Amino acid sequence: MSPTSLKALEDAEIIMGAPRHLALLPDLKADRIEWPVPFSNGIPILAGLRGHRVVVLASGDPFWYGAGSVLAHSFAPTEWRALAGPATFSLAASHMGWPIEDTVCIGLHAAPLSRLRPHLGHDAQAIVLLRDGAAVADLGAYLEGLGFGDTEMTVMEALGGPRQKVRTAVPATLPADIAHPVCVALKISGKGAEFTHASGRADALFANDGQITKRPVRALTLSALAPAFGEHLWDLGAGSGSIAIEWLLSHPSLSATAVEVDPTRAERATQNAIHLGVDRLKIINAAALDVIAGLPKPDVVFIGGGVSQELLDALWQTVPMGTRIVANAVTLEAEALLAKWHGQRGGELLRIELARSKPLGSKRGWSSAYPIVQWSVTR
Question: Per-residue confidence at 1, pLDDT binned at 50, 70, 90?
Answer: low
Q: What is the pLDDT of residues 48-88, one digit of tens each?
A: 999 999 999 987 778 888 788 899 999 999 999 998 878 89
The residue-averaged pLDDT of 233-237 equals: 97
Q: Would you state the CATH architecture of domain 88-187? A: 2-Layer Sandwich (3.30)
| Mean pLDDT of the 257-271 span | 97
Calculate mean pLDDT across residues 141-156.
97
Q: What is the mean pLDDT of residues 299-315?
A: 95
Q: From edge to edge, which strands make up the β-sheet containing 31-34?
A: 31-34, 14-17, 54-56
**Cα–Cα distance between 190 and 43 in angstroms, integer?**
44
Instruction: State which amino acid sits at residue 312.
Output: L
Its CATH class, for the domain covering 203-378, is alpha beta
Give residue 369's pLDDT band: very low, low, confident or very high (50, 70, 90).
Answer: confident
Contact between 29 and 53 under an 8 Å Cβ cutoff? The reply is: no
Q: Could you tell me which of 97, 296, 304, 299 has the C-alpha nearest to residue 206?
A: 304
Identify the pLDDT of residue 26: 87
Domain residue ranges in the chain? 3-79, 88-187, 203-378
Q: What's the Cα-to-Cα distance from 232 to each of 83, 133, 149, 246, 266, rounded to whole Å?
A: 34, 36, 36, 13, 19
Residue 286: pLDDT over 80: yes
Kindly give the interhelix angle for 242-250 and 263-275, rounded to the nearest 10 degrees.
Answer: 30
Superfamily of segment(s) 3-79: Tetrapyrrole methylase, N-terminal domain (3.40.1010.10)
Other CB atoms within 10 A of residue 145 CB: 11
Mean pLDDT of 358-371: 91
- Measure the CA–CA gap between 19 and 200, rounded to whole angstroms: 48
Q: Do the domains 88-187 and 203-378 sit in the same CATH topology, yes or no? A: no
pLDDT at 64: 82
How are the residues of the chain apportioned to helix, strand and coil, as percentages rounded to the nearest 5?
35, 25, 40
- Per-chain mean pLDDT for the chain: 94
